[in-house]
Amino acid sequence: MRERTQKSKVEIYPYLLIAPSLFALLLLGAYPFIYSVVLSLYDINYAATGTAGHFIGLKNYLEILGDYAFWNSMLLTTVVALIALPLEFLIGFVVANLFNREFMGRKVAVSLILIPSVLAPVLVALIWKFLLAGTWGLLTYGFFNKIGLFKDSSIFGSPGYALIAIVAIDIWEWAPFSALVFLAGLQSLPVRPFEAAAVDGASSWQVLRHHTLPMLSPLFVIMGFIRLIDLFKIFDVIFITTGGGPGTSTETISIFLLRKTFTQWQLGQAAALAVIVFVIFFALCTIFFRIAQRRLKVF
């Protein structure tokens, strides 16, 4: 009997140790989420009533899912993520390989290429606004117009170009960070497999395909995960440069959420939107996770 009590004490002890952290996590993570779910079931529309409203069940979800603007913003966010992520990785990996050899000024160069990634996103947005603004932007006026480009249009004022510019700015900002992470990965790879490959006369492409990429795959997965989450939350650059326009041509899900929340004050719908985005994103992450586990044997 005494032995049993002793055993149960041992079993409870670890849980007691993690209880404070678990409680804090629940308070900070789960409570706001549950509160959002509750809000999403109410007609809270300050713009129309000036006050909070009543329980309406799933009506907010149906409104959001039936709203063209929601699907448009989801599509645009996906397009931005699907174009920006591979390009950031490609550029980052090429740059990492260039820096993975000794040359004069290498350390300074590594620090310099990191500048875009360490700048505050708002500053990044302002820099590009000043560079690409129609007619008075430094690059627009000083370069593009001189070579005959954007004479009768402007980058942030044209639906097609504006989205391309947003993707390009994101790549400019985050490709250096990918380069740094990949460089750290490359430098931590074991030397022997590469020496063996050299002895066997493997070509550079074979070394890359059969050694470097498989060994770096956990890093790719983790980075992909982090950047995908970031890209789905892209906000600052769009908010400052285009505000989601022209029309809704750069309105990603974060901008749409901002409209529903702080512009239109439809808090019930905004909460429903947040829950929908969470569910979609959770499903995507789970699929991503499973693929990484099965195909790449990571995690």
Partner 1 sequence: MERILKVVLVFGLLTFLCFPLNAFSWSYKEAAQPYKGVTIRYITEDTPINLALKEIAIDSFEKETGIKVAWERYPFSILKQKCEMDLFSKAGYYDCMKMYSFMTAMWINGGHVLGLDKFLKNPKLSNPKLGLEDFSQPIWDKMTLKRGSRIGLVYYNYAPIYYGRKDLLNHPAEKEAFKKKYGYDMAPAKTWDQVRDIAEFFTRKKGETLAGEVLADNFYGIVLMGKRHESTNMIWMDWVYTFGGSLLDKNNVPTINSQENIAATEFWKSLWKFSPPGTAEYDYVDILMSLLQGIAAQTINWADFAFPLEIPGKSKLAGRMAYGPIPVDPKHQIGAAIVEGVVPIISSYSKSKEATFLFLQWLSEKQIELKVAQMGLASPVRKAVWKDPSLTSSPFAAIYSAMKESLDNCVLVYGDPNFLGWPMINDYLSITLSEIGTGKKTVKEGLDAAQKEALRVMIPKK
**Which positions lie near partner 1, rule CB under 8 A?**
46-51, 133-136, 140-141, 145, 150-154, 156-159, 162, 239, 241-248, 259, 262-266
Q: Which is nearer to partner 1, 49 or 111 (CB)?
A: 49
Q: How far is the CB of 249 from partner 1 (least distance, A)?
A: 8
Q: Which is nearer to partner 1, 224 or 246 (CB)?
A: 246
Q: Which is nearer to partner 1, 20 or 66 (CB)?
A: 66
Q: How far is the CB of 247 from partner 1 (least distance, A)?
A: 4
Q: Which is nearer to partner 1, 44 or 180 (CB)?
A: 44
Q: How far is the CB of 134 from partner 1 (least distance, A)?
A: 2
Alpha-carbon distance values, 135 to 147, 243, 297 (Å): 14, 19, 52
Q: How far is the CB of 81 from partner 1 (least distance, A)?
A: 22
Residue 185 makes CB contacts below 8 A (sequence gap 6+) with 96, 216, 219
Q: How far is the CB of 234 from partner 1 (least distance, A)?
A: 17
> In 3D, which of 272, 268, 273 has the Cα closest to residue 251?
273
Q: Which is nearer to partner 1, 20 or 50 (CB)?
A: 50
C-alpha span between 278 and 150 (Å, rounded): 39
Rounded (10°) CA dihedral 33, 38, 41, 42: -120
> In 3D, which of 121, 68, 67, 113 has the Cα closest to residue 92?
113
C-alpha span between 185 and 180 (Å, rounded): 9
The letter for the amino acid at 188 is S
The radius of gyration of the chain from alpha carbons, rounded to an integer in Å, stands at 25
Q: How far is the CB of 145 from partner 1 (least distance, A)?
A: 7
Q: Which is nearer to partner 1, 176 or 268 (CB)?
A: 268
Q: Record the tokens describing residue 195, joined without a space.
A: 């020496």
C-alpha span between 273 and 277 (Å, rounded): 6
